[in-house]
C-alpha cells in the first residue's frame, strides 16, 4: 500500500512539473528595461508590433521584422524606405505623437508590443496600455549611443538579438573608420536644418555627427538644441563647410549664389552639400544616421579617406540593415 501511494505521489509530481513547464512556455515573458527606466514584461514571442512614430518604425525595418507590423503611425506612407521594403497589407494608422495616439485602434489590432516615444503623451499612453495588459517600450534614439542602446533593447524585446548584434556591428565599423583618422586642424561646419538660419547647438545628434567626422560646429557655443540664428552670426562664424538637411527647403545652387553669403569660406570654395538621402535622411536620428558620419568625414578630409570607398561602406551597411542595396532602394549617387 505504501509503495502504491509513493507511485501515486511521484506520478502527481511529474504531472505538476509537466503542467507548469507547458504553462510557462505558453505564457513565458521576458523583462526589458526601456529607455526611461521602466521594467516591462514582454511576451516571449512578439509577432504583432505597433509603432507610434517614424524612428520606431525605422528600427523595426533595420531589425528585419517589418512583416510583424500590425499598425503604424501617420508617417508610414511618407517614408520611401518603408514603401519600398514593406509588401504586406495596408496597415491601420494609430495617429502620431503630434496629433495624438488612437488607443482604440491599438487595442483593435491586439499587439504583443507597442513602441512609444518619450515626449508628449508617450509615457501617458504607456500607462493606459498597461491597464489593458499590453506591453510597451519607450525608446529615445537621440544620440549615437542611444541609437545603439535602442537597437539592443528592441532586439531583446522582439527576440532578434542576433540580428541586433549584426546591426550594431555596422555602427561600430563606421566609428572605427572615422576614429582611426587624425585631424590636426578641424574644419568648421555649419548645419542648416529646414532653412539657412535654422541650425543646431549642443546636445544634438547633428553636432555629434560633425564632431565624429572631425569637424567643429561653431553654433555649439551658442546654446543647446535647435537654434534660430542670424545672418550676422553666420557671417561671424564664417564656416569652412555648410551642410544642409535633406529637408532643407532651398537648393545648394541657390545657397551658392546668394549675394550676402559670398564672403563666407564655404561659399567661396564651393563647400556646400546636402545630406543624403532620399531613401531616408542620414542627418536625423535613425539607424542610418551613422552613415552621415563617414559621408561627411570624407567630404571634409578627402585626402584622409583615399583608402575608403564610401559607396562600398554604404552598400554593406544597407545590405546588413535592410537586406537590400542602397541603389536598389532608390538612393542614387552620393
Span of 11-25, 65-79, 139-153, 296-310 with lowest mean pLDDT:
11-25
152 occurs within a structural domain:
yes
Within 187-276, residue ranges assigned H as helices are 205-212, 231-237, 252-256, 265-268
Total domains in the fold of the chain: 2
What does the pLDDT look like over 264-304, one tens digit per residue? 999 999 999 999 877 888 998 899 999 999 999 999 999 99
Q: Both 251 and 139 in a single domain? A: no
Q: Both 148 and 181 in a single domain? A: no
Q: Both 63 and 200 in a single domain? A: no
Q: Mean pLDDT, to the nearest integer, of 131-154?
A: 96
Residue 20 pLDDT grade (very low, low, confident, very high; cuts 50, 70, 90): very low
191 occurs within a structural domain:
yes
Q: Both 245 and 279 in a single domain? A: yes
Q: Both 135 and 234 in a single domain? A: no
62 burial type by CB count under 10 A (0-12 exposed, 13-18 middle, 19+ buried): buried
Per DSSP, 27 falls in state S
What does the pLDDT look like over 83-130, one tens digit per residue? 999 999 999 999 998 899 999 999 999 999 999 999 889 999 999 999
288 occurs within a structural domain:
yes
168 occurs within a structural domain:
no
329 occurs within a structural domain:
no
Buried/exposed 277-303: b ≥16 CB within 10 Å, e otherwise = bebbbbbbbbbbbbbbbbbbbbbbbee
Q: Both 132 and 236 in a single domain? A: no
**Distances 27 to 22, 97, 318 between C-alpha atoms, Å:** 9, 31, 36
184 occurs within a structural domain:
yes
**For cell 532608390, what's the residue?**
330
Residue 84's CATH number: 3.40.50.1980
User: How confident is the prediction for the chain on average, in pLDDT?
Assistant: 91
Q: Mean pLDDT, to the nearest integer, of 302-327?
A: 93
221 occurs within a structural domain:
yes
115-119, 150-154, 223-227 — most confident range: 150-154
Q: Both 16 and 151 in a single domain? A: yes
Among 111, 134, 159, the domain-final residue is 159
307 occurs within a structural domain:
yes
Q: Three-class SS of residue 40? A: strand
Report the DSSP beta bridge partners of residue 312. none
Question: Which residue range(s) make up the domain with 208?
Answer: 173-322
Predicted pLDDT of residue 22: 45
Q: Mean pLDDT, to the nearest integer, of 143-156?
A: 97
Q: Both 142 and 207 in a single domain? A: no
Residue 3 pLDDT grade (very low, low, confident, very high; cuts 50, 70, 90): very low
Residue 28 clears pLDDT 80, i.e. is over it: no
Q: Both 46 and 138 in a single domain? A: yes
Residue 16 clears pLDDT 50, i.e. is over it: yes
pTM of the model: 0.87
Per DSSP, 305 falls in state G
Q: Both 142 and 180 in a single domain? A: no
Amino acid at each position: 500500500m505504501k509503495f502504491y501511494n509513493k507511485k501515486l505521489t511521484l506520478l502527481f509530481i511529474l504531472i505538476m512539473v509537466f503542467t507548469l513547464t507547458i504553462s510557462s512556455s505558453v505564457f513565458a515573458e521576458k523583462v526589458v528595461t526601456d529607455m526611461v527606466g521602466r521594467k516591462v514584461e514582454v511576451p516571449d514571442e512578439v509577432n504583432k508590433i505597433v509603432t507610434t512614430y517614424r524612428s520606431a518604425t525605422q528600427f523595426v525595418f533595420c531589425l528585419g521584422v517589418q512583416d510583424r507590423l500590425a499598425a503604424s503611425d501617420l508617417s508610414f506612407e511618407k517614408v520611401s524606405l518603408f514603401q519600398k521594403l514593406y509588401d504586406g497589407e495596408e496597415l491601420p494608422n494609430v495617429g502620431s505623437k503630434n496629433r495624438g495616439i488612437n488607443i482604440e485602434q491599438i487595442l483593435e489590432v491586439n499587439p504583443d508590443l507597442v513602441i512609444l516615444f518619450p515626449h508628449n503623451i508617450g509615457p501617458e499612453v504607456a500607462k493606459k496600455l498597461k491597464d489593458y495588459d499590453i506591453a510597451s517600450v519607450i525608446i529615445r534614439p537621440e544620440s549615437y549611443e542611444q541609437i545603439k542602446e535602442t537597437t539592443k533593447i528592441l532586439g531583446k524585446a522582439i527576440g532578434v538579438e542576433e540580428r541586433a548584434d549584426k546591426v550594431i556591428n555596422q555602427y561600430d565599423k563606421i566609428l572605427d573608420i572615422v576614429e582611426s583618422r587624425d585631424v590636426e586642424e578641424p574644419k568648421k561646419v555649419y548645419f542648416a536644418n529646414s532653412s539657412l538660419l535654422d541650425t543646431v547647438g549642443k546636445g544634438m545628434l547633428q553636432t555629434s555627427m560633425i564632431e565624429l567626422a572631425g569637424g567643429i560646429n561653431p553654433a555649439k557655443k551658442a546654446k543647446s538644441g535647435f537654434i534660430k540664428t542670424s545672418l550676422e552670426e553666420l557671417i561671424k562664424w564664417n564656416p569652412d563647410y555648410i551642410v544642409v538637411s535633406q529637408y532643407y527647403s532651398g537648393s545648394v545652387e541657390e545657397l551658392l549664389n546668394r549675394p550676402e553669403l559670398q564672403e563666407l569660406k564655404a561659399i567661396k570654395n564651393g563647400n556646400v552639400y546636402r545630406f543624403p538621402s532620399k531613401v531616408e535622411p542620414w542627418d536625423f536620428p535613425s539607424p542610418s544616421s551613422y552613415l552621415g558620419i563617414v559621408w561627411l568625414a570624407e567630404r571634409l578630409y578627402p585626402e584622409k579617406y583615399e583608402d575608403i570607398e564610401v559607396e562600398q561602406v554604404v552598400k554593406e551597411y544597407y545590405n546588413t540593415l535592410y537586406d537590400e542595396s542602397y541603389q536598389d532602394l532608390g538612393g542614387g549617387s552620393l
